[in-house]
């Protein structure tokens, strides 16, 4: 193990944690009280430190305690859990919802209870690790299609006709590039080849769509997507907790057989109470989503004008391509010296030779924050001969 760790360091792939000493928000303190602007959190709607969510969490602890000390089906289900499940279902316009400790658990517990060796799971090549691991736990036949490549998906669907049941699994927004899955075409192919459709909304819910309700809203697909998974840890407050939401029969079966649900403690009242409040806020107003979209458009326009290589995006994720792993780390280090907190992404998080800085915009950013970030990118990009 020591030799392997040395090899990781030598290759420039070793990951260092930086310590945040404040709440998660646009401006934070890291390490020894260093003030920086945060551009690498999933805090898309700026709810991670919102006073309404903090107050809701406190109230939930006052009325329902700190922890559950049990799994849901024994003695771990509170009225708050059912209220949050109803709020998620309302948001996605689905029949029912099942809460998990994280979306990793939601994806990990999805496929094995529903599909056997007689069935087929067809997965996008750039799906999140949790989807990949969930598929591995199932005995179903596995097919993989190139990212958002509908011709390749159709090839897989044709081959999967040999299996009993088929499901297409995809991210709504692919977290490293920021591109949105072509869900309209996916659903058309699913209906042609009699397949179910599952989409992970972790990076798309709260961001994509006219009011931020995700890919079903973006493409007008309510009733045509069978399953959504997602997280409370990004747009919906930034804490923890995941969910699967969709057709009633599927959710009912997962309540009976999904192992991460059956064998994990219930979400604590504070997280659930804050989650309920987050969905209440998003039902009251779309202002946070509108501001997020304005920030994304402003930042992308200025970065592209400056000459950076930016992956096409329709989300709050902006991939600034550098291609070299050590360069991405040095770029991030210099950006922090300029007061901008970003992270270099490199293998194995992204394919070899595809290193980048992943910038994540938030409704919490103001124009002055965006201008400072662009200026730091330009200064660092010129110093390292990127632009």
Instruction: Write down the catalytic residue from 203, 289, 291, 369.
Output: 203
Round the CA-based radius of gyration of the chain to a whole number and report it.
21
Question: How far is CA 198 from its chain centroid?
Answer: 15
* Residues β-bridged to residue 343: none
Q: 134 with 112: CB under 8 angstroms?
A: yes
Instruction: Write down the catalytic residue from 130, 175, 202, 258.
Output: 175
Cα dihedral across residues 82, 88, 93, 95: positive or negative = negative
Q: 289 with 45: CB under 8 angstroms?
A: yes
Q: 194 with 229: CB under 8 angstroms?
A: no
Question: Any long-range contacts for 327-331 (C-beta under 8 Å, 24+ apart)?
Answer: 327/355, 327/384, 327/386, 328/355, 328/356, 328/357, 329/12, 330/384, 331/357, 331/380, 331/381, 331/384, 331/386
* Cα 281 from Cα 107, distance rounded (Å): 27
203 part of the active site = yes
Instruction: Write down the catalytic residue from 141, 234, 289, 291.
Output: 234
Question: Any long-range contacts for 70-74 (C-beta under 8 Å, 24+ apart)?
Answer: 70/265, 70/266, 71/261, 71/262, 71/263, 71/264, 71/265, 71/266, 72/99, 72/261, 72/262, 72/266, 73/255, 73/262
> Which stretch of DSSP H or E encloses residue 155?
helix 150-159
* Cα 204 from Cα 174, distance rounded (Å): 9
* Residues β-bridged to residue 260: none
Q: 132 with 292: CB under 8 angstroms?
A: no
* Cα 135 from Cα 107, distance rounded (Å): 8
Q: Using omega within 30 degrees of 0 as the cis cutoff, is the peptide bond preceding 114 cis?
A: no
Q: Which of 97, 99, 85, 57 is nearest to 247 (CA)?
A: 97
Residues marked active site are found at 175, 203, 234
């Amino acid at each position: 193990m020591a030799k392997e760790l040395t090899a990781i360091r030598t290759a420039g792939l070793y990951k260092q944690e930086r310590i945040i000493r404040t709440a998660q928000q646009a401006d934070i303190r890291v390490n020894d009280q260093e003030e920086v602007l945060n551009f690498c959190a999933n805090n898309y709607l700026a709810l991670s430190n919102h006073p309404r969510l903090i107050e809701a969490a406190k109230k939930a602890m006052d009325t329902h305690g700190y922890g559950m000390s049990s799994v849901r089906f024994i003695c771990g289900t509170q009225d708050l859990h059912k209220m949050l499940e109803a709020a998620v279902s309302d948001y996605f316009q689905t029949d029912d919802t099942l809460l998990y400790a994280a979306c990793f658990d939601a994806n990990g517990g999805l496929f094995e209870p529903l599909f056997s060796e007689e069935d087929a799971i067809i997965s996008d090549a750039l799906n999140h690790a949790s989807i990949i691991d969930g598929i591995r736990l199932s005995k179903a036949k596995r097919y993989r299609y190139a990212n958002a490549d509908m011709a390749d998906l159709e090839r897989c669907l044709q081959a999967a006709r040999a299996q009993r049941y088929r499901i297409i699994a995809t991210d709504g927004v692919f977290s490293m590039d920021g591109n949105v899955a072509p869900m309209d075409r996916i659903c058309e192919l699913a209906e042609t080849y009699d397949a179910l459709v599952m989409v992970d909304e972790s990076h798309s819910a709260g961001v994509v769509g006219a009011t931020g309700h995700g890919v079903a809203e973006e493409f007008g697909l309510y009733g045509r997507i069978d399953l959504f998974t997602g997280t409370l840890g990004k747009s919906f407050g930034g804490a923890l907790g995941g969910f699967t939401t969709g057709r009633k029969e599927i959710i009912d079966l997962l309540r009976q057989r999904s192992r991460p649900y059956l064998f994990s403690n219930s979400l604590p009242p504070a997280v659930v109470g804050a989650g309920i409040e987050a969905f209440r806020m998003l039902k009251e107003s779309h202002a946070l989503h509108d501001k997020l979209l304005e920030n994304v458009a402003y930042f992308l326009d200025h970065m592209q004008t400056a000459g950076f290589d930016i992956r096409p995006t329709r989300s709050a994720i902006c991939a600034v391509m550098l291609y070299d792993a050590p360069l991405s780390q040095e770029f991030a280090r210099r950006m922090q010296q300029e007061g901008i907190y970003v992270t270099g992404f490199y293998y194995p998080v992204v394919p070899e030779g595809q290193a980048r800085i992943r910038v994540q915009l938030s409704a919490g950013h103001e124009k002055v924050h965006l201008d400072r970030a662009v200026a730091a990118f330009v200064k660092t990009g010129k110093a390292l001969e990127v632009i």
